[in-house]
Amino acid sequence: MKRRTFFKTSAFASPAVLMGCRMNENEASDPMIKKVEMAMLSMQRASWEQGVAAQAFLESGNKEMTIRMAYEAVLRQQEDGRLSVLYTGNGVTDPAASGQAVLYAAEKTGDEKLREASANMVSYLLTTEHRAENGTLHHIRSGPEIWIDAMYMAPPFLAAAGQYDEAIKQIDGFRKALWSEPSKLYSHRWNTEEKVFVNKKFWGVGNGWTLAGISRVIELLPAAYATQIQKLIGYEQEHLSSILSYMRSDGLYHDIIDDPSSFVETNLGQMIAYTIYTGVRAGWLDKNLIPEAEKMRSAARSKVDEYGYVTDVCGAPYFNAPGRATEGQAFFMLMEAARNK
């Protein structure tokens, strides 16, 4: 179906700051947020899950929990620099999801071990051999594959660490491999050696990772990068224009965005709402998109059960059925924090 045009065309010039979060003032008056937070803390977490949980606390303005999450990410740092690795971690980019929280904790505590841990994570991303010929990072160590998940994991941390050009380079590399111009959506996995899609489908949460990740990079780039910021804003607007046309009447999406036979899930709507609230606040999305975000937010809130679990998200640990997942909890918090700001 066709949708109205909601996107800003004027230049975006506001510089972003690394530590620009503020306390979520709604938490005290909205017990649902606290329930979701506690349910998230009950979950066992892989590297990207630790990272997105830490980012949720950071953007919610919870200084103490961000620092706690950062210390635990560093506790499980590998010698090669990867953060939050549990025993047999296969991820190349997933460990970087904890990076901005570690940077924040280093700034607030002055702990040199945290600064060193952050520098080691940056070094790993800049020097690892797990990358395509054009320098685009592979997502896993066990095969030459680019995954759309990496849009959220690596570029925001690189930008937060001041590696602006590398952050933009990675976004462009991921986009080149996975963007579908006819559909204006992202496929999931590309094999860089065989030059074939491992998974060509338009996975909902993967597209959500992209919207949220690029929106963070836009916020972190300095004003001197105005041209590059405009390019990234264009990526986001083009993507949103397509993805919003697939929203169901109940404010939810199918797991495979363009496949109505796939299961209905909750998290993509939260991720899109987060992106809209973020973009409207920063001035690169039109405020007329807010009703769309509010519809998705209402749908997500209706899915929170008595224990605080956001139900029917694309569920861990296999992400092939509706269930529960740390990122589903975290993006509820991120959505609420972005709306409050």
Domain-located, residue 23: no
Q: At what angle do helices 326-340 and 31-41 cross, to 10 degrees?
A: 150
Give the pLDDT band of residue 19 (cuts 50, 70, 90).
Answer: very low
Domain-located, residue 161: yes
Which structural domain, as residue segments, surrounds residue 278?
31-44+133-340
Residue 57: closest CA among 41, 43, 46: 41
d(C-alpha 216, C-alpha 129), whole Å: 26
Q: Is the model's pLDDT at 13 over the cut of 50? A: no
Give the pLDDT band of residue 108 (cuts 50, 70, 90).
Answer: very high
d(C-alpha 46, C-alpha 316), whole Å: 10
Q: Quick one: average pLDDT of 27-32?
A: 79
Q: Quick one: average pLDDT of 164-183?
A: 98
Domain-located, residue 21: no
d(C-alpha 208, C-alpha 18), whole Å: 22
Domain-located, residue 108: no
Domain tally for the chain? 1
Looking at every residue in the chain, the average pLDDT score rounds to 93
Contact predicate 339/281, CB 8 Å: no
Domain-located, residue 335: yes
Give the pLDDT band of residue 33 (cuts 50, 70, 90).
Answer: very high
The answer for residues whose C-beta is within 8 angstroms of residue 147's C-beta and 6 or more apart is: 93, 139, 140, 188, 189, 206
Contact predicate 87/53, CB 8 Å: no
Contact predicate 275/333, CB 8 Å: no
CATH of the domain at 317: 1.50.10.10
Give the pLDDT band of residue 155 (cuts 50, 70, 90).
Answer: very high
Domain-located, residue 24: no
pLDDT of residue 10: 44
Domain-located, residue 65: no
Looking at residue 7, what DSSP letter applies?
B
Domain-located, residue 181: yes
Summarised one tens digit per residue, pLDDT across range 262-311 is 999 999 999 999 999 999 999 999 999 999 999 999 999 999 999 999 99
Placement of tokens 């606290």 in the chain: 34
